[in-house]
Amino acid sequence: MDEVRSFLVSLGLVSLAAIALHRAVGPAADPFAGLAVFVIVRLGWQAYHKRKADIRRAIVKLRAYEAADRQRILEAVESEDLRQRLRSELDREGSETRDGLTEVFPFPAAFRRRATRRYWRD
């Protein structure tokens, strides 16, 4: 939530600067102000998607470990927010279950998304 707040504050400050520039210089400053707002929005969007991709990559790597090792690795994560996010994503993805000699490995959600997209696209 702090990231969203900092993004909105920076967007607000750039917008206020754009309004001040418009009042000081006139309509000639509007393209520059619009460009500045566009750049701030684009950088925020790229950072958001990079964080989501990093979480997905971490989940894929964590799924390779056994359940006890995953818990140990998650406990070593310093940030409480990141630890909770990883736990919730791991729960959403599912984990292997063992019933005697039988083991069931669920198909990860990331792969389900890719398979569904590929199925409907082709």
Residue-wise pLDDT for 3-56, tens only, equals 778 878 888 888 888 888 888 888 887 888 788 888 888 888 898 889 888 888
- The angle formed by the CA atoms of residues 33, 36 and 41, to the nearest 5 degrees, is 130
Is residue 114 scored above 80 in pLDDT? no
Q: Total structural domains in the chain?
A: 1
pLDDT higher than threshold 60 for residue 80: yes
Q: Using one digit for the tens of pLDDT, what is the confidence trace for 88-111?
A: 888 887 777 777 777 776 667 667
| This model's pTM is above 0.75 | no
**Torsion-angle region of 26 (φ positive above 0: left; ψ -120 to 50: alpha; else: beta):** left
With 60 as the cut, is the pLDDT of residue 72 above it? Answer: yes
| 59 Cβ contact list (under 8 Å, min separation 6) | 86, 89, 90, 93, 108, 110
Domain of residue 41: give its range.
2-121
